[in-house]
C-alpha cells in the first residue's frame, strides 16, 4: 500500500464514488485527469558558484468551481504522480467545505535540509519566474506544504509582485501576518478538526467533557488539537506521541505543559508522570477519541480490528487504508475522514485570499466564527449522505465533493 502510486490511489477513490453517483462517463473521465500541468527546469546559482538545475511542477487539477488552490512542496522524493494525487485531493477538499476554489498542487525536487537560506530564496524565486504565468489571485493560489513555510511564501509573493509590477498578496496564502497573512491560520487545521469532532460527538451522544483522547503526532496539527480539545471541551488528553515515541497517563495531563516540555527537550517523551507507549500501542488504547495527526497508512487491515476509539478524527492525510476503513465501519467506529477533518487549514487560507483581494482584514474571533460555520456545514452535508446512502463517512465525503465539482462542470457546459 505504502508503495502504491498515489495518483492511482486517488483515481481508484474517484472511481468508487463515481460508480455510486452514477456519474456519466464523460464527467468521470474529465475528473480522472488533471486539466493542466506545467513541468519546469529551475537553474539556481549555488553558494559554491556552480549552477544546479532543479525539476519543478505545478498541477492544476480542476478549476470548475474557482481558481486552483494548493501548496508547494520542496522534497527530494517529489514525483509528478504525488503532485497529481495531492492536486486531486485538494479539489475534493475545497469542494467538501464549499469554498469557491479548485484544486492544485506544486512541487520541486530538492533537499532543503542541504540548502542554505540564500539558495532556498533563489529556488523559490526561480519557481515563480517559471510557473508565475499560470498563477495569480484569479487563476491559481499556492500555499506552504512540506518544507516550505511563511518565509518561502513571502519570497514567492515578492517575486510574483515584481513580475506583475504591483503588490499582489492574493497570489499566495500562508504568508506572514505582516504581508497579508490571516489571523487564525496557525491553529486552523486543528481548530477545524475540533469543530467536526464536536459535531460527531453530538451525533453519537458522547460527552466530550468526559472523553479521553489519544493523539499520534505532536506537530502543528497534533499539538494544537491537544490544547484545543482541552480548552474547548475539557476533554482529557491521555496519550500523545512524536517520531521518537509516545507518553501515556490514564488520568490525563496538560497538553500545554507537554508542549513546553517538547520545546525544551525536542520530544514529548520523558514528560513527568507518564509511562512510555509506542506509536503502535497508542492507536489501540481504550480511549473515546483517537486523532491520527502524523503519518499515512498507520491504521491498516492488520490493526483496525483492535482500534477501540469511538471517534477517529483524521487530522493527518491518509492515515487509514481502504482495508481498515471496511473493518472500522463494520465495528461502528466513526471516522471523520481526512479531507473533511483537516480542511480547516485550506478554509482559513481561502479567508486569507478573500482578505487580500478585498483589502478588508478580519479579527481572529471572526475567522473562528466563519471557520466553524464552514466545517459544521461540511460535516452535516457528509453525515446526511452517509446515513441516506448507508456508506461510511469517507465514501460520503467523496460523493458530496465529486458531485459538486461535476455539477459545476455541467453547468459551465464542459461536459
Q: Where does this chain bind ligand NAD (CB under 6 A)?
A: 189, 216-222, 241-243, 279, 293-295, 315-317, 342, 345
Distance, in Å, from the CA atom of 281 to the CA atom of 275, rounded to the nearest integer, reads 12
Q: What is the DSSP string of 290-359?
A: EEE-S-SS-B-TTTGGG---SEEE--SSS-B-HHHHHHHHHTT-EEE-HHHHTTHHHHHHHHHHHHHHHT
Nearest approach, Cβ of residue 349 and ligand NAD (Å): 9
Q: How many CB atoms lie within 10 A of CB 315?
A: 31
Distance, in Å, from the CA atom of 201 to the CA atom of 197, rounded to the nearest integer, reads 6
CA angle 114, 115, 117 (to 5 degrees): 140
Would you say 367 or 408 has its CB closer to ligand NAD? 367
Nearest approach, Cβ of residue 355 and ligand NAD (Å): 18
Distance, in Å, from the CA atom of 15 to the CA atom of 32, rounded to the nearest integer, reads 8
- Residue closest to ligand NAD when measured from CB atoms: 219
Q: Which H/E stretch holds residue 144?
A: strand 140-144
Nearest approach, Cβ of residue 414 and ligand NAD (Å): 29
Considering only CA atoms, give the Rg of the chain.
21
Question: Would you call 210 a catalytic residue per the annotation?
Answer: no
Catalytic residue among 69, 105, 175, 236: 105
Would you say 229 or 391 has its CB closer to ligand NAD? 229
Nearest approach, Cβ of residue 50 and ligand NAD (Å): 31
Would you say 197 or 316 has its CB closer to ligand NAD? 316
What sign does the dihedral 148-151-154-155 (CA atoms) show?
Answer: negative
Pairing of strands 102-109, 51-62: antiparallel
Would you say 1 or 204 has its CB closer to ligand NAD? 1
312 neighbors 295 (Cβ within 8 angstroms): no
Helix pair angle (364-389, 188-204), 10° resolution: 40
Distance, in Å, from the CA atom of 338 to the CA atom of 320, rounded to the nearest integer, reads 9
191 neighbors 228 (Cβ within 8 angstroms): yes
Nearest approach, Cβ of residue 74 and ligand NAD (Å): 14
Q: What cell was used for 83?
A: 503532485
**Residue with the three cell numbers 508542549:** 259
Would you say 131 or 315 has its CB closer to ligand NAD? 315
Contacts of 257 (CB under 8 A, 6+ apart): 271
Would you say 212 or 279 has its CB closer to ligand NAD? 279
Would you say 42 or 248 has its CB closer to ligand NAD? 248
Nearest approach, Cβ of residue 60 and ligand NAD (Å): 20
Nearest approach, Cβ of residue 40 and ligand NAD (Å): 24
Which of the residues are catalytic? Answer: 105
Amino acid at each position: 500500500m505504502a508503495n502504491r502510486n498515489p495518483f492511482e490511489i486517488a483515481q481508484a477513490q474517484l472511481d468508487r464514488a463515481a460508480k455510486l453517483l452514477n456519474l456519466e462517463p464523460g464527467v468521470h473521465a474529465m475528473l480522472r485527469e488533471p486539466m493542466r500541468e506545467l513541468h519546469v527546469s529551475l537553474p539556481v546559482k549555488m553558494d559554491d558558484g556552480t549552477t544546479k538545475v532543479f525539476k519543478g511542477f505545478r498541477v492544476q487539477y480542476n478549476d470548475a468551481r474557482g481558481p486552483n488552490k494548493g501548496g508547494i512542496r520542496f522534497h527530494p522524493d517529489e514525483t509528478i504522480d504525488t503532485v497529481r494525487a495531492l492536486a486531486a485531493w485538494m479539489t475534493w477538499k475545497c469542494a467538501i467545505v464549499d469554498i469557491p476554489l479548485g484544486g492544485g498542487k506544486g512541487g520541486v525536487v530538492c533537499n532543503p535540509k542541504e540548502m542554505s537560506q540564500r539558495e532556498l530564496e533563489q529556488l523559490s524565486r526561480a519557481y515563480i519566474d517559471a510557473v508565475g504565468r499560470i498563477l495569480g489571485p484569479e487563476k491559481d493560489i499556492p500555499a506552504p506544504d512540506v518544507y516550505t513555510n511563511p518565509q518561502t511564501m513571502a519570497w514567492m509573493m515578492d517575486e510574483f509582485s515584481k513580475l506583475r509590477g504591483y503588490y499582489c498578496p492574493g497570489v499566495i496564502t500562508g504568508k506572514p501576518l505582516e504581508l497579508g497573512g490571516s489571523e487564525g491560520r496557525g491553529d486552523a487545521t486543528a481548530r477545524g478538526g475540533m469543530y467536526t469532532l464536536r459535531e460527531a460527538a453530538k451525533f453519537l451522544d458522547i460527552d466530550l467533557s468526559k472523553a479521553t483522547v489519544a493523539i499520534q503526532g505532536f506537530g502543528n496539527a497534533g499539538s494544537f488539537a491537544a490544547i484545543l480539545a482541552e480548552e474547548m471541551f475539557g476533554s482529557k488528553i491521555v496519550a500523545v506521541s512524536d517520531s521518537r515515541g509516545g507518553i501515556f497517563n490514564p488520568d490525563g495531563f496538560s497538553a500545554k505543559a507537554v508542549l513546553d516540555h517538547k520545546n525544551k527537550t525536542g520530544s514529548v517523551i520523558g514528560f513527568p508522570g507518564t509511562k512510555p507507549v509506542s506509536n503502535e500501542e497508542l492507536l489501540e488504547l481504550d480511549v473515546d477519541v483517537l486523532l491520527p495527526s502524523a503519518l499515512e497508512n498507520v491504521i491498516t487491515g492488520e490493526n483496525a480490528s483492535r482500534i477501540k476509539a469511538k471517534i477517529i478524527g483524521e487530522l493527518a492525510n491518509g492515515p487509514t487504508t481502504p482495508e481498515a476503513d471496511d473493518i472500522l465501519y463494520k465495528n461502528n467506529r466513526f471516522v471523520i475522514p481526512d479531507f473533511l477533518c483537516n480542511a480547516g487549514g485550506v478554509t482559513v487560507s481561502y479567508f486569507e485570499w478573500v482578505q487580500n483581494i478585498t483589502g478588508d482584514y478580519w479579527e481572529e474571533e471572526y475567522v473562528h466564527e466563519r471557520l466553524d460555520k464552514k466545517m459544521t456545514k461540511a460535516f452535516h452535508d457528509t453525515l446526511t449522505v452517509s446515513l441516506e446512502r448507508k456508506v461510511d463517512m469517507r465514501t460520503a465525503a467523496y460523493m458530496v465533493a465529486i458531485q459538486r465539482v461535476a455539477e459545476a462542470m455541467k453547468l459551465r457546459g464542459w461536459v
